[in-house]
Amino acid sequence: MADLKLPSRSEDFSEWYNQLVLRAEMADYAPVRGCMIVRPYGWALWENITAALDRRFKATGHVNAAFPLLIPQSFISKEQSHVAGFSPELAVVTHGGGEKLEEPLVVRPTSETIIGTAYAKWIQSYRDLPVLINQWNSVVRWELRTKLFLRTLEFYWQEGHTAHATLEEAEAETRRLVDVYTDFAVKEAAIPVIPGRKSDSERFAGADITYSLEAMMGDGKALQFCTSHNLGQNFSKAFEIRYLDQNGQLQYCWTTSWGLSTRVVGAIIMVHGDDQGLILPPRLAPYQAVIVPIFKTDEEKAQVLEAAKKISEQLAAGDVRVKVDQREGLSPGFKFNDWEMRGVPLRIEVGPKDVAKGSAVLARRDKPGKEGKSFVSQEGIASAVQQALADIQKALFDRALAFREANTFNPKTLDEFQAVVEKGFARAYWCGNAKCEEQIKASTKATLRCIPLEQPGGQGQCIFCGQASAELAIFGKAY
C-alpha cells in the first residue's frame, strides 16, 4: 500500500495533481505531445458540468449549433489583433486527400471568424437580432507543455457567440454571462470566484472588454475559471456583420463571445482535493454515493447485497447518483481508499450488523474519520443522503471561501507585495498604467488577475508608482 500514497499537497502540489489525475482515472496522456485523453470518470464529471451550464444558457435564451473544425486561413487574418494573438498557436492543414491545398486551413483555435462569416450571411435586419448561439466543441492551440486539464494542445469547451443591435445590449449580454458563470461556479462547483475586468494586456485578442472569473487553487495560485468578451464592432467590421435598423440605415452589429473549458475540471481538483485524493462537489460528482457491502461468509454476503440493492433503489428513486461496489476479491478497506481517491462525496457502509438493525453508516468524504460518520436507518435513507450531500456541497464552498480569505492580503509596499504573492492573492491599487503592471510582473512573477467588479469605493495609491488610483486589482501567480 505504501507506493499507493499520493505525494502530499504541501510537499509537492504539482506532483500531487499530476499523479491524482492519473490514479483517479480522470485523464491520460496521448501519443501526440500536448494532447489529452479524457477517461470515462473525468468525462462523466465534464458531462455534469456541461449539463449544469447548458441548462443555464438555455434558460437565458441561448440555443446550440455546430460550426466546422476547419477555417480558411484568410479568415483568421481579417481581424488584426485576433490574428496577432492566435498566430503563434495555430495548427495549419496544408494537405488534404493527398494534395496540397490551394488555401491552407486552420484548425479552430476559437470560432469568432467562422461564426462571424455565417452571421454576416444570416443577419439582415434588426428583426434578426439578437442572435444567441452557443456550441460545445474542442479547439486546438499549439502547446507542448502538457498539464492534464490545465494546459493541453486540444481542449474541450463551450463557446458562445452573440450579435446585438446596440453596444448596451452587447455589454448587458457580456455581463449576463458573468452572472451565469458565477452562479454555476458557486452553486455547482462550490468554488468561490471573483468576477472582474481584465487589464488591457490580459484582454482577449480582438475584444474591447474581457471579463473573467478568478478562483484561488489549493496552493494559493490563481486560475481563470472562464471569460466573457465584449467584442465591440471589431469582428462585425472585419466580417461585415450588418443589419438594417428601423430607419432603413445599415449598421454594424455589436458582438460578444464567452467560454468555459475543461480547465474547470482542473480547478475542481485543485480547490477541493486533499492528500487522500479528489473531493468532488456532490452537485457535479459522477457518483454522489457509493455503497460498500461488508461481509465475511456467503450467508452474510447474500443478506448484505440484498440490503445494498434496496438502499440503492431508494437512492436512485430519490435522484441520487449511486453505485454499489460489488467488485469481488477486494477488501472493504481497499474500496474505501479507492473511492476516497476518486472523491465520491458520500460512502455508505452496509455490514451484517447493519442488516440486523436495519441501519447503514454514512461516511462523508470531506470529513475524514469519526467526525464525518453517522448512522442512519435504511428506511427513508434517501432523504438522509440528500441532506448529507447538501451539507457537503455547502461545507466545500465554505471551506474554499475561508481558504481564499485567509490567503488574500492587502500589501502596502512592493516588498510586502512580493512576499504575499508567494502565498496567495494580493489586493492592491493599480493606476491603470500598463508599464506598472508589466514591471510588477517582471519583478514578482505575479500577474494582474482582474479588477473586481465589486469595488470598496474610495481611493488609494498604485502599489508600484504611488499615483492616486480608484480601483483595487487582484494580483497573483497564475496557472
Interacting residues toward Zn ion by CB under 5 A: 431, 433, 436, 462, 464-465
Distance CA 378, CA 360 (A): 6
Quote the least distance from Cβ 462 to Zn ion, whole Å: 3
Quick one: 57 or 464, whose CB is closer to Zn ion?
464
Q: What residues pair up with 63 in beta bridges, in sequence order?
A: 133
Q: What DSSP line would sit under 228-267, residue for residue?
A: EEE-TTHHHHHHT-EEE-TTS-EEE-EEEEEEEETHHHHH
Strand ranges for 1-81 from DSSP E? 27-29, 36-38, 63-64, 70-72
Quote the least distance from Cβ 439 to Zn ion, whole Å: 9
Q: Smallest Cα–Cα separation from 474: which of 228, 175, 176, 220?
A: 220
Quick one: 9 or 427, whose CB is closer to Zn ion?
427
Quick one: 92 or 465, whose CB is closer to Zn ion?
465
Quote the least distance from Cβ 161 to Zn ion, whole Å: 35
| Continuous segment of H or E residues that includes residue 337 | helix 332-341
Quote the least distance from Cβ 103 to Zn ion, whole Å: 46
CB 287 within 8 A of CB 340: no
Quick one: 199 or 378, whose CB is closer to Zn ion?
199
Dihedral sign of CA atoms 51, 57, 59, 61 in order: negative
Quote the least distance from Cβ 409 to Zn ion, whole Å: 19
408-417 burial, b at 16+ Cβ within 10 Å, e below that, comes to bbebeebeeb
Quote the least distance from Cβ 461 to Zn ion, whole Å: 9
Q: What residues pair up with 409 in beta bridges, in sequence order?
A: 426
Quick one: 406 or 465, whose CB is closer to Zn ion?
465
Quote the least distance from Cβ 194 to Zn ion, whole Å: 21
- What residue has cell string 480582438? 206
Q: How would you classify the pairing of strands 373-377 and 425-429? A: unpaired
Distance CA 209, CA 470 (A): 19
Quick one: 205 or 436, whose CB is closer to Zn ion?
436
217-249 burial, b at 16+ Cβ within 10 Å, e below that, comes to bbbbbbbbbbbbbbbbbbbbebbebbbeeeeee
Quote the least distance from Cβ 471 to Zn ion, whole Å: 11
83-105 burial, b at 16+ Cβ within 10 Å, e below that, comes to bebbeeebeeeeeeeeeeeeebb
Quick one: 381 or 436, whose CB is closer to Zn ion?
436
Quick one: 111 or 444, whose CB is closer to Zn ion?
444
Quick one: 55 or 435, whose CB is closer to Zn ion?
435
CB 290 within 8 A of CB 338: no
Quote the least distance from Cβ 426 to Zn ion, whole Å: 14
